[in-house]
Structures are given as structure tokens and as C-alpha cells.
Amino acid sequence: MELTGSQIVIECLKEQGVDTVFGYPGGTILNIYDELYKHSNEIRHILTSHEQGAAHAADGYARATGKVGVCFATSGPGSTNLVTGIATAYMDSVPMVAITANVAVNLLGRDTFQEVDIAGITMPITKHNFIVKDITKLADTIRKAFKIAKSGRPGPVLVDITKDVTAAKTSYKKVTPEVIQRKTDEITEEDIKQAIEMIERSKKPFIFVGGGAVISEAHDELKEFVDKVDAPVTDTLMGKGAFDGTDERYTGMLGMHGTKASNLGVTECDLLITIGARFSDRVTGNVKKFAKNAKIIQIDVDPAEINKNIITRCSVVGDIKEVLRLLNQRLGQQNHKEWLEHIHDLKQKFPLKYNKEVLTGPFVLEKLYEVTGGDAIITTEVGQHQMWAAQFFKYNLPRTFITSGGLGTMGYGLGACIGAKVGMPDKTVINIAGDGCFRMNMNEIATATRYNIPIIEIIFNNHVLGMVRQWQTLFYEQRYSYTNLNDKVDFVKLAEAMGAKAYRITKKEEVESVLKEAIALKEPVVIECIIDSDDKVWPMVAPGAAIEEVFTEEDIKK
């Protein structure tokens, strides 16, 4: 049958099983929006308050569901407003397809109104991108975009379509998407054998889990592997929930704000088994001193990550679920009772601490865990509150902690929270924010209220840019250069003006009742928690230091 380009876009989305699109209309994309209007009973469209919010919502939807997130934007500023969201998804390997429209082919390159080379702009921050100038190539391009976005190491793909293509007609035939196979072609017998031999020789193994284990849905295989290796487990921000955070072998996060048990344990171990982690600088600290006593095994789907930041002794390239399945079949039961007892002693000796006498971020997060029983999806912005959410809320399932790890995008969490809730409507979804981050994209509260998406936004308001101020306190002799936010903005009135229910908490005793009420309301809620501007995230590793040099407030006082 013969269809317009706009009709083909919608039919291809239906082919791919897309049920939700986040976006913002404009001149060049009007034809597509007109067609979307006719299919509103099949594809839900969420009109965000800003295109950046649409990109973050598509990202949060993808991370929560495991499906490809989709966002729309018009040309020029509409498409450039997606850039931060696309870069965020790229750094954290999130499957997303961004569909933008551009000016007609005969107007390209003429500085036409709202013309921009969005394909050129996003080339370094997409897994792949396309500009479609020929109607006959449109359907296959969209299909390729979805395949690329979700195969191997996932990532965002941009499809830019000129306006004349959205109006032109060509023949269309429905195609059933091919099943994406897990990547196994680079897994070799030699690599598997070497990994098993190294594990069997190890006396003090440590397992280090990253976001790749979440993406590959390797939760069950990872649990079996940990049991067989009989080793302690640490993780990255992106790896949270891949291994049960309530398990006795779990030692907490690794790195700059990792636990002492994890940082000291990894420094002491003789074998570090790294699963789906890319050795970010925030994890390794001084790379020359990282895991200095250990041989390293790295398991990753992307060969480009092998030996990129840390030199390994053994690597296995392939889908993590499949690699772990092969290792579990071949590996005999190991026993490291004394090593585990030593790590347990470190956990007992160096627990996470905070001031329990006053209202703090950690107290709110522990109370939130208690009230929800851990059955919630937590999204975050970036900063101190993000670290506290990683430290003090326990994650026992994958896709329940959604945060900007690689790019560190302030303003990410609220859009992601909306996307996660739309994708997982039966889950309690809560965004943890600081006051600085909330200011970035707080207009998305209006999106939540427009559609009555019952998210909960918790703002830790310390009236400063908390993490930046923490660095200024510790490393810049308390020169607080432009980090004070102590102005007259009233977040409660602001939230209420956008149609949300709002609370302000100033003392510990109010937390539990407000959280319970907010969850029961089933409507958008904003909770402002007033905390001290000098509260800090502990432990900490100074930039450039070895992770074993991790210190706490007590260490500074000593």
C-alpha cells in the first residue's frame, strides 16, 4: 500500500511495539504529529514541558522497562534541546531512538529558519544517526535505528527526517522485527578456560558489577556465579540492583564515595572479576594504584572497553548473561570462608554513618526504604543526594535505580522519573533531587500534573550546590564561589502553582507520615526537606588519590 512518510513513521513505531512517545511539536515535524493524532489510541504521546525533559523521559522509560525509549522534536532548537538527553543516554548505554524533523531537502544548507545539522551535532553522542532525504529509504532506516539501539551494547540513535519526506508518498509493507540475538560471537573457549583457571587459583576474589549486568538481565546468573565463586560483591552506580543489595556478601559501592569495606577489600583482593563495568575514574581513583594486588578479569559486551582504562589479565567479550551462563556450567564450587569473614569484619568496622540527631538526606532515604519495603523505583538527579540514594536505599532488583552515571546530568531525574512511571505504572516511582538540580528542569512537574502521573519528587534543600560546596570546603579552603542558592524561591508554592500536592519537612518526626501520605495519594507530590548546607557525603576519596585512601569525617578530625 502507498503511505506518506508520516504514516510510515507511525506504522514503523507500531511494528516495533512502541506504546509511548515523549515529545514536543513544531513546524517541521507537524506532519508526523498530525498522523500521531490519528493513532492516539495506539501510541500514547506525553507532551513534556521542554524537549530535554522528553529525552530524559524516554531514557527513564527505557531504563525502567528494558524497551527502547522514543522521543520526538522539531528542527533547530527543538532538536538541539534533545542533545543533553541523548548524551546522557549514550554515556550510560541506554536504548533510545530520537526522531527529529528538518527543513525540506531543497532548503538544507541555506541557513533556513530553524535549520540545524542535528546529525552532525549528535554524531559523537549517538551509537549511530541518520538523515533521511529519500522517502523510499524511510521505513528501513527507522527499522535499522531500533535494531542498532537495542543490539550489543545499547545506545541512542537519531533519525532526522526532512519535512518533504514526511509528506511524500511511497509503497509500504509491514515487516516483523527480527529477534535481536545476544552477542556471543567473540566468546572463545580459550577466554572461558583462562577465566575459570584464574578463579580456581584465587584465594581472595572480589566481584565488581557494573551497568552491563543490568542491561543484559543477568540478575539470576550473577547470583549463581557469586554463590559459586563464594566472593564478596561491590558495584558501580549503574550496577545497582544487578546483585541483591541486602545479600550478606554485598559490601556497598566502590570508588570515590564507596564504602571502606569495598575500597579496602578491592585493594587487598588477589583477583577482581569485573562484570559489565568500564572502570570510570570515579571508581578507580589513581589507576596506577587501583586493585594493585589483583589480577583482573573483565567481562564486557563491548571490546572497546577492554584495556581502555585498566589493563586486564583476562577478558571475555560477549553478552554478560551468556558469559555467566557458560562460566556457571564449568565452574566448580569455590570456598573462601576466611576471606569473606575478613570482608565481613571490614563491613562491621566501617559502616556508613550519618548524624541521627537531625533531619538529613540519609535519614530520609532509610525511612523511605522502610516505608516502601524497598519496593520502588528510585530515580535521581546528580550530586550529594544521588550518592546518598546509592548508599542508603537498598536495591535488590535491576532497573530500580535510575541515575545519570556517566554524564552526571543535573536536571535528569525528574524527566526520567516521569518516563519510568509511565513505563512501570504499577510501581512506586520517586525522584531524589537537590535544590540546585530541581531548578534545572522543575517545569516537568507541570508535565506530571497535566497527565496525573503519580510521581513523588523529594528535594533535599540545603540552599547550596551541595557537592560542589563539599569540594570547595575540602579542597578550596572554603572559598564558596557561586554555590549559594539562599534566595526567596519557595518550592512548595511553586509545586502547588503547577498543580502538585506539596509538603515541607523541617524535622525528622515529620518524615514517615508525609512519605506514607504521599505514596497513598496516587497523584504528583513534591516533598521539600530542609537540611543543613554543610552536610557531606562520606566516605570520600580525594580526586587523584588511591581508593584505599578513603576517608571519613572522623578521619579528618583525627
What pLDDT, on a 0 to 100 scale, did the predictor assign at position 368? 98
Q: State whether 345 and 377 are in the same domain.
A: no
> Given this model, what pLDDT does residue 558 score?
83
How many distinct structural domains can be found in the chain? 3
> Is the separation of the CB atoms in 160 and 108 below 8 Å?
no
Sign (positive or negative) of CA dihedral 226, 232, 236, 238: positive
Q: Which are the contacts of 80, defined by CB distance < 8 A and separation ≥ 6?
A: 116, 118, 121
One domain, residues 154 and 199? no
- Low-confidence residues of the chain, pLDDT below 50? none
Contact 102, 162 (CB under 8 A): yes
Same domain, 372 and 411: yes
- The C-alpha angle 342, 343, 345, rounded to 5 degrees, equals 65
User: Which residues carry out catalysis?
Assistant: 51, 113-114, 163, 467
Is residue 397 situated within a structural domain?
yes
If asked whether residues 344 and 367 sit together in one domain, one would say no
Residues 6+ apart with CB under 8 A from 145: 97, 128, 130, 157, 158, 159
The string of pLDDT tens digits covering residues 218-243 is 999 999 999 999 999 999 999 999 99
Rg (CA), the chain: 24
Do 33 and 129 sit in the same domain of this protein?
yes
CATH number at residue 46: 3.40.50.970
Supply 208's cell numbers.
565488581
Q: Determine, yes or no, domain membership for 553.
A: no
If asked whether residues 53 and 147 sit together in one domain, one would say yes
State how far the Cα of 122 lies from the Cα of 75, in Å rounded to an integer. Answer: 13
Residue 221 located in a structural domain:
yes
Quick one: which H or E segment has residue 262?
helix 260-268
Q: Would 545 be classed as within a structural domain?
A: no
Cell of 168: 511524500
Q: Which three cell numbers stand for residue 127?
A: 551509537
Cell matching residue 74 = 522539531
Pairing of strands 169-171, 2-4: antiparallel
Residue 544 in 3-state DSSP?
coil
Q: 473-498: string of b/e by CB count within 10 Å (b at 16+)?
A: eeeeeeeeeebebeeeeebbebbeeb
Decide: helix, strand or coil at residue 95.
coil
Cell numbers found for residue 477: 579552603
**For position 255, which CATH number holds?**
3.40.50.1220
Question: Which grid cell is 237?
Answer: 552506580
Last residue of a domain, one of 349, 384, 399: 349
pTM of structure: 0.97
Q: Find out whether 112 and 57 touch, Cβ atoms under 8 Å.
A: no
From 315, 349, 383, the end of a domain falls on 349
176 within domain boundaries: no
Nearest to 152 by CA among 83, 216, 195, 242: 216
Nearest C-alpha neighbor of 499 from the set 49, 28, 5, 66: 49
> Is residue 37 exposed (0-12), middle (13-18) or buried (19+ Cβ within 10 Å)?
exposed
- 219 & 340 share domain: yes
Same domain as 373, residue 344: no
CA dist., res. 78 & res. 266, Å (int): 45
Distance CA 388, CA 353 (A): 11
Whether 542 is in a domain gets the answer no
554 within a domain of the structure (yes/no): no
Residues 395 and 497 grouped into a single domain = yes
Task: Select from 349, 384, 412 the last residue of a domain.
Answer: 349
Number of Cβ atoms within 10 Å of the Cβ of 120: 11
Cell output for 340: 569473606
149 and 69 housed in the same domain: yes
The CB density around residue 17, as the number of other CB atoms within 10 Å, is 10
Same domain (yes/no): 481, 445: yes
C-alpha cell at 283: 571508581
Q: Is 65 exposed, middle or buried (0-12, 13-18, 19+ CB in 10 A)?
A: middle
Alpha-carbon distance 377 to 451, whole Å?
19
Q: Which three three-digit cell numbers place residue 285? A: 581513583
135/203 same-domain check: no
309 vs 290: CA distance, rounded Å:
11
Q: Are 518 and 525 in contact (CB under 8 A)?
A: yes
**Whole-number Å distance between alpha carbons of 385 and 66:** 25
Q: Are 37 and 395 in contact (CB under 8 A)?
A: no
User: pLDDT for 70-102, tens place per residue?
Assistant: 999 999 999 999 999 999 999 999 999 999 999
Q: Domain span at residue 102?
A: 2-171
In a domain, 91, yes or no: yes
Contact 142, 175 (CB under 8 A): no
